[in-house]
Amino acid sequence: MTSSTDASLVSTALAHAREHRRALWDKLDTRTLENGARVHVLPQGNHGIAAVEIWADVGAGDEPAPLAGISHLLEHMMFRGTHDVPDGEFDIRVQALGARANAWTWYDTTAYTTILGADHLEKLLALEADRFENLHIDEEVFQTERDVVLNERALTADSDPNTLAQEHLDRMLFGEGPYARPVIGYRENIASFTHEQLTDWYRAHYAPHALDIWIVGDVPVEATHRHVADSFGAIAGGPPPSKAGEMRVTHHTHVRDRIELAVTEPLVLMAWGLAPGRDRRAVLTWRVLSEMLAFGRGGILRTALEHDQKLALYQDIYVQEHRLGHSAVWEATPRSGVSHAELCDAFYATLSALSAGEISAQALDAARIRIVSQWASRNAPWQVLQTLGDAVHTTHDAANFLKDLDILEAITAEDIRTLATRLADPQSNVLLFVEPEAV
């Protein structure tokens, strides 16, 4: 073939990525307020834009079963007014700063994100601090927002058989554990939440010690810290919430199920439970292997199952990073006339061959260069912020922002072979067959 990844290309790309991340890292200035909130300021660029995210250390993984979805509903309510800012006013005031506010909830984190002209930062921080201290959960507004979330659930899950299949797979893999339930919760959960439950959740989980405040972009360090101290620093501290007992994760293996959903084409979903997010070598070994198996229109699985054997119409392989145990999923649509079992057997055979064969340095380097290339293109302030935030929240060590590059370089063929051996073992996974509903 006309091209291969030569080692010098990888080392040049890695060296540049290291240099680039090191330059950012050296400018990152982290301080802790007296009330326990951590503030991270990173000056980057001269474009007049700042990205601000406030990460609360709570997510769906912290919820007991009856409260599944409450973190997400609280995220919605955070836009619905405080004791000083009436319902509807928050967005008006944010937009008056030229800013666009949004938020997301995941298993370990709830984050509030804003991108704005850097000259309006002080006013934005005052608004943010206010809602983290003085949220007013009005009963009538709460009912309205709950209906919005029910509509979101209907839209993004109940009408989407692929999402329903993914939810079923998570239950198979995580059993009754905290990562088994969907972030948005179930319809019956959402409908049952009370005003009091939501208020308690807010008080327990949004105290300053649970917050990481990130500001990346065209901002001066000292003045920015001053603005944060003037706003968030004024919030009274409190004891950290106990997470003990809620946070144990068990991954199930060798569970099989077959369900019918409103899909037109059948679907195969296979999942594995893996190490916690802080085990970077395990997580990055997965990243490298998944790049080797399927990327764009190439990869070992695509060649075997789609191009050569023509068994699969579509495949995807991805990792979901969780703080307490990430998971990996292979998803495939068999071609017409191909059975689930036939497709799975071909998957196991391909992984067996990989684990038994020679893994060349070039194949490893090719996967590495794709990963580094993806990282290098995520350079806007809000993307840098996201990477740093993940390092803190998912891996529990901001320095993984730098260390990941060394770990990526250190992954060996043996690491890949070991993981491939595990994937080739049908006993190691949970497996879901999704069939079209009978008419």
Partner 1 sequence: MQRPWVQEDRLRDGTRVYTTASSLDAPVAQIHCIFALPSALPEVAGEVPVLLEWMQRGTEAHSRSEIFDAFGALGIEPQLSMLPSGILFSMRCLDACREVALGLAQELLFRPAFEDGELEDVLVEMDQDDRASRDVAGQISYRAQRRARWHGTTLAAPVNGTKATRKKLDGAYLRGLHAQLFERPAILAIASEQSDAWIAALERTMLRDRPTRRWEYTPPTASYLHAQPRDIFVDAPALEHAVVSRYSPGPAGEDLATIARTFLHHEALTDGMSAPLMVQLRGEKSLSYSVFSMLIDRGDGWDQCFEIEPSAERVEEALAAGSALWVQEDALTAEDFRRARIALHTQERLQTIDAPRALAHSLRHEILWNRPMGSRQAQVQAILDADADDARTMGAGYGMSQSPLCTVVVGRKADLPQKFQSEMLDLDALFDADF
348-377 positions binding partner 1, by CB under 8 A: 362, 365-366, 369-370, 372-374, 376-377
Amino acid identity of residue 309, one-letter, is Q
Report the residue from 30, 104, 136, 162 that binds partner 1 according to the rule CB under 8 A. 162
Q: What angle do CA 193, 198, 203 make, to 5 degrees?
A: 160
Which of these ranges, 93-101, 122-130, 223-231, 409-417, lies near partner 1 under the rule CB under 8 A? Answer: 93-101
For residue 411, give the nearest of 324, 274, 273, 289 by alpha carbon: 289
The 393-412 site mask, x for binding partner 1 (CB under 8 A), equals: --------------------
Report the residue from 278, 281, 335, 422 that binds partner 1 according to the rule CB under 8 A. 335
The total of other beta-carbon atoms located within 10 Å of residue 181's CB is: 24
Q: Is 296 in the site for partner 1 (CB under 8 A)?
A: yes
First vs last Cα of the chain: how many Å apart? 49
In a 13 Å sphere around the CA of 99, the CA atoms on its Cβ side amount to 29
Q: DSSP H helical segments within 40-138, as ranges?
A: 70-77, 89-96, 121-133
The footprint of partner 1 on residues 254-293 (CB under 8 A) is 262-265
Q: For residues 50 and 319, which CB has a smaller minimum distance to partner 1 in the complex?
A: 50
Q: For residues 185 and 299, which CB has a smaller minimum distance to partner 1 in the complex?
A: 299
Amino acid identity of residue 214, one-letter, is W
Between CA 407 and CA 282 the distance in angstroms is 10
The total of other beta-carbon atoms located within 10 Å of residue 369's CB is: 18
Between CA 228 and CA 119 the distance in angstroms is 14
Number of residues that bind partner 1 (CB under 8 A): 79
Report the residue from 24, 60, 68, 101 that binds partner 1 according to the rule CB under 8 A. 101
The footprint of partner 1 on residues 18-37 (CB under 8 A) is 20
The 193-232 site mask, x for binding partner 1 (CB under 8 A), equals: ----------------------------------------
Which of these ranges, 239-247, 305-313, 316-324, 392-400, lies near partner 1 under the rule CB under 8 A? Answer: 305-313
Q: For residues 367 and 430, which CB has a smaller minimum distance to partner 1 in the complex?
A: 367
Q: Reduced to 3 states, what is the DSSP secondary structure of residue 65?
A: helix
Which of these ranges, 54-62, 153-161, 174-182, 408-416, lies near partner 1 under the rule CB under 8 A? Answer: 153-161
The footprint of partner 1 on residues 107-146 (CB under 8 A) is 115-117, 144-145
Taking the complex as a whole, how short is the minimal distance between the CB of residue 8 and partner 1, in angstroms? 9
For residue 152, give the nearest of 119, 204, 187, 105 by alpha carbon: 187
Q: Is 340 in the site for partner 1 (CB under 8 A)?
A: no
Report the residue from 25, 79, 104, 348 that binds partner 1 according to the rule CB under 8 A. 79
Contact criterion met (CB below 8 Å) for 131 and 90: yes
Taking the complex as a whole, how short is the minimal distance between the CB of residue 318 and partner 1, in angstroms? 15
Contacts of 362 (CB under 8 A, 6+ apart): 4, 5, 6
Contact criterion met (CB below 8 Å) for 53 and 237: no
Taking the complex as a whole, how short is the minimal distance between the CB of residue 260 and partner 1, in angstroms? 12
Taking the complex as a whole, how short is the minimal distance between the CB of residue 347 and partner 1, in angstroms? 17
Residues pairing with 261 in the sheet: 436
Report the residue from 126, 380, 402, 407 that binds partner 1 according to the rule CB under 8 A. 380
The footprint of partner 1 on residues 46-75 (CB under 8 A) is 46-49
Contact criterion met (CB below 8 Å) for 109 and 56: yes
Q: Is 5 in the site for partner 1 (CB under 8 A)?
A: yes
Torsion of CA 221, 227, 230, 234, to 10 degrees: -90
Between CA 351 and CA 25 the distance in angstroms is 38
Q: For residues 94 and 210, which CB has a smaller minimum distance to partner 1 in the complex?
A: 94
Name the residue with tokens 């993914």: 166
